Amino acid sequence: MICSLSALTKTALNLYIGRLMSEPIPESLPELLDPRRAVALRSRFEGRMAIARLSRLRPLLESTDGSVDYQLSFGNDERGNDTVTGRVMGELRLRCQRCNEQMVLPVDSALSLALTEGLDEAAALPDDYDPLLLDGRLMRSSELIEDELLLAVPVVPRHPEGTCEAPLPKSPTAERVGGSGREFTGMRMAPQIGTTVEIETDPEPQQAEQPVSQTESERPNPFAALAALRRDRNK
């Protein structure tokens, strides 16, 4: 009985070691990546990437400090598609368009891509894949991470509803006088005795504004055609 248990334990250990050896060890993404070769090797990549490296994302951010974590696996599915799956996780610092203060956007994005070399291949993909169009043998690996973060940024970044308010407009003409707590708008101060007062002459009368010609008033809004085109596409 002891020998049988020992043999089973040894067999299970060998299977476990064999499985570990068959699975690729995750490594950091190289600067340039050959996606087809990564698929053939069934490569896995895990690591951390500095946000400051992502040049297309930087203009959208309030701060480029920090980094994001990634996990990427290359391989094939049962339908023969060359695929990239994984996650991108981190935090992005944006400007809230409601309160005009900095906000933190948590990102935890799952990606599921299929390698394609043309629009026809991309159109034929199953719905559960987004196309990764290849333009040459090599690509910058940071683009995989950057694309997911760009998709996560809202068109109009805002704090969650009810957590911030728009700032109140400030009146540029109100003046607080003498510490009395009363506000006077556009008040003129009388000159003190003994001071020289400069009297302003009336400026030359301004010519009456010419009425807008019918041609100018009927000139179409340059954005009207764009708005109409978008409405037609949404029908």
- What gap in Å lies between CA 60 and CA 107, rounded to an integer? 15
Q: Answer whether residue 221 is part of any domain.
A: no
Give the Å distances, CA to CA, from 135 to 1, 117, 174.
62, 7, 61
So what's the pLDDT on residue 92?
A: 97
- What's the pLDDT tens digit per position in 30-79? 999 999 999 999 999 999 999 999 999 999 999 999 999 999 999 999 99
- What's the pLDDT tens digit per position in 128-183? 999 999 988 899 999 999 999 999 999 999 999 988 998 888 766 544 544 444 44
Q: How would you classify residue 138: left for phi > 0, otherwise alpha for psi between -120 and 50, otherwise beta?
A: beta
What type of residue sits at position 222? P
Q: Answer whether residue 195 is part of any domain.
A: no
Give the Å distances, CA to CA, from 104 to 71, 142, 164, 171.
22, 22, 13, 31
**Averaged pLDDT, 112-135:** 92
User: Which of these ranges, 6-10, 100-104, 132-136, has the smallest mean pLDDT?
Assistant: 6-10
Q: Answer whether residue 9 is part of any domain.
A: no
Q: How far apart are the first and last CA of the chain?
A: 75
CA 201 to chain centre: 57
**Averaged pLDDT, 191-214:** 49
**207, pLDDT greater than 70:** no
**4, pLDDT greater than 80:** no
- What gap in Å lies between CA 194 and CA 96, rounded to an integer? 54
Q: Answer whether residue 212 is part of any domain.
A: no
Q: Answer whether residue 17 is part of any domain.
A: no
Is 74 in contact with 41 (CB distance < 8 Å)?
A: yes
Is 22 in contact with 14 (CB distance < 8 Å)?
A: no
Number of domains the chain is built from: 1
Question: 130: domain range?
Answer: 23-152
Q: Answer whether residue 165 is part of any domain.
A: no
Q: Answer whether 0.75 is exceeded by the pTM.
A: no
